Amino acid sequence: MIAYVTIGADDLDRAQRFYSALLIPLGYGLEIGPEGLSFALPVPHGQTPVHPEFYVKPTFNGAPATAGNGSMTAFEASDQAQVRTLHAAALSAGGTDEGAPGFRPDYGPRFYVGYLRDPQGNKIALFSSNPNDPSRND
């Protein structure tokens, strides 16, 4: 199981605007500390996390942060409407479009996804594959 994902950012204020627009509506909480931003889903008392935490931090070696070539982090939305809403919110919060929300035939008939780049250039996917989605537009 993946425990956490960490990405680098040169401008934590820009990263906070982008990721807060994207992750807070998905239920993630945000903690800001001297080492950067920590996004995590709430964990009921006595239980362990079921989803990975997501960290945005300055680079450890002090060199400029760079986006990984071929790497992408995907976040699951509850339905297609939330994919569309969060994709638009993330664009407004400094992201760039890498593929508008929609179905991708290569990934099956239920996979609805939108792609973005964060302000640092990291690729992000927002998807839903809920077959009972009342907002389905297929």
| CA–CA dist 98, 107 (Å, integer) | 17
What per-residue confidence (pLDDT) applies to 18? 98
The SS3 call for residue 118 is coil
The residue written with tokens 């920590």 in the block is: 38
Q: What band does 137 get if pLDDT is binned at 50, 70 and 90?
A: low
Tokens 């929609």, located at residue:
102
> Which segments of 1-138 does DSSP mark as H helices, in order?
12-23, 80-92
Residues with Cβ < 8 Å from 58, sequence gap 6 or more?
8, 9, 10, 12, 35, 36, 65
At 68-77, the pLDDT tens digits run: 888 999 999 9
Query: What are the structural domains, with CATH classification, of the chain?
Result: 4-43+51-59+72-128 (3.10.180.10)
